Structure 1
Amino acid sequence: METTAEVVSSNCLLVSEYSESNPTQLSVMELGIRNFGCTHYRRRCKIRAPCCDEVFDCRHCHNEAKNSEEVDVVDRHDVPRHEIKKVICSLCDTEQDVQQYCINCGVCMGKYFCDICKFFDDDTSKNQYHCEECGICRTGGKDNFFHCKRCGCCYSKVMEKGHRCVEGAMHHNCPVCFEYLFDTVREISVLPCAHTIHLDCVKEMEKHHRYSCPVCSKSICDMSSLWKKLDKVVALTPMPETLKNKMVWILCNDCGVKSHVQFHIVAHKCLSCNSYNTRQIQGTPATPGSSRVTEMVI
Structure 2
Amino acid sequence: MASSVGCEHYVRRCLLKAPCCGKLYVCRLCHDAEENHQMDRFKVREVQCSECQTVQQAQHTCQQCHVLFGDYYCDICHLFDKDKQQYHCQDCGICRIGPQDKYFHCDKCNLCLSVNLQGNHKCVENVSRQNCPVCMEDIHTSRIEAHVLPCGHLLHNTCFDDMVKMGAYRCPLCMHSAFNMDDRWFNIDLEISQSPMPTEYQGISTKIVCNDCQAHCTVRFHVLGMKCSNCGSYNTAQEGGLIQQPEPDTEAETDTEPELHEAPTQH
- Please state which band the TM-score falls in when normalised by the shorter chain: 0.7 to 0.9
- Output the CA distance in 1 between the equivalents of 2:161 and 2:101: 28
- Output the CA distance in 2 between the equivalents of 1:147 and 1:206: 27
- Equivalent residue in structure 2 for 1:101, among 56, 61, 65: 61
Question: Is 1:190 aligned to residue 148 of structure 2?
Answer: yes
- Output the CA distance in 2 between the equivalents of 1:158 and 1:233: 36
- 2:86: which partner in 1? 128
- 2:109: which partner in 1? 151
Contact residue 4 and residue 14 of structure 2 kept, 8 A: no
Which of structures 1 and 2 has the larger relative contact order (alpha carbons within 8 angstroms, sep 6+)? 1
Aligned-residue Cα RMSD (Å) equals 1.9
- 2:77: which partner in 1? 117
SS of equivalent residue, structure 1 residue 63: helix
- Equivalent residue in structure 2 for 1:46, among 9, 15, 30: 15
- Output the CA distance in 1 between the equivalents of 2:201 and 2:116: 50
- Quick one: which amino acid aligns to residue 51 of structure 2? L
- Equivalent residue in structure 2 for 1:78, among 38, 41, 44: 38
- Output the CA distance in 2 between the equivalents of 1:282 and 1:52: 58
Deviation at 1:179, TM superposition (A): 0.7
Residues 1:207 and 1:143: Cα distance change in structure 2 (over 3 Å): closer
- 1:181: which partner in 2? 139
- Quick one: which amino acid aligns to residue 228 of structure 1? F
- Equivalent residue in structure 2 for 1:278, among 236, 240, 248: 236
- Equivalent residue in structure 2 for 1:239, among 183, 191, 197: 197
- 2:31: which partner in 1? 62
Deviation at 1:35, TM superposition (A): 5.8
Deviation at 1:276, TM superposition (A): 0.6
Deviation at 1:100, TM superposition (A): 1.8
- Equivalent residue in structure 1 for 2:227, among 269, 276, 282: 269
- CA deviation string 1:23-50 (max 9, x = no partner): xxxxxxxxxxx96111221111011222
Quote the sequence identity (%).
Answer: 42
- Quick one: which amino acid aligns to residue 151 of structure 1? C
- Equivalent residue in structure 1 for 2:214, among 256, 259, 265: 256
Deviation at 1:284, TM superposition (A): 4.4
- Quick one: which amino acid aligns to residue 60 of structure 1? L
User: Any gaps of 5 or more consecutive residues in structure 2?
Assistant: 244-267
- 2:178: which partner in 1? 220
SS of equivalent residue, structure 1 residue 53: coil
Deviation at 1:111, TM superposition (A): 2.5
Deviation at 1:271, TM superposition (A): 0.7
- CA deviation string 1:61-84 (max 9, x = no partner): 223334xxxxxxxx3x33111111
- TM normalised by structure 1 equals 0.75
- Output the CA distance in 2 between the equivalents of 1:225 and 1:158: 23
- 1:15: which partner in 2? none
- Output the CA distance in 2 between the equivalents of 1:171 and 1:164: 16
- Output the CA distance in 1 between the equivalents of 2:242 and 2:18: 58
- 2:248: which partner in 1? none
User: Any gaps of 5 or more consecutive residues in structure 1?
Assistant: 1-33, 67-74, 286-298
- 1:138: which partner in 2? 96
- Quick one: which amino acid aligns to residue 34 of structure 2? A
- CA deviation string 1:166-212 (max 9, x = no partner): 10121111010011000101122111222110111111111221011
SS of equivalent residue, structure 1 residue 108: coil
Alignment length, in residue pairs? 241
- Output the CA distance in 1 between the equivalents of 2:224 and 2:89: 50
Deviation at 1:241, TM superposition (A): 4.1
SS of equivalent residue, structure 2 residue 128: coil
SS of equivalent residue, structure 1 residue 283: strand
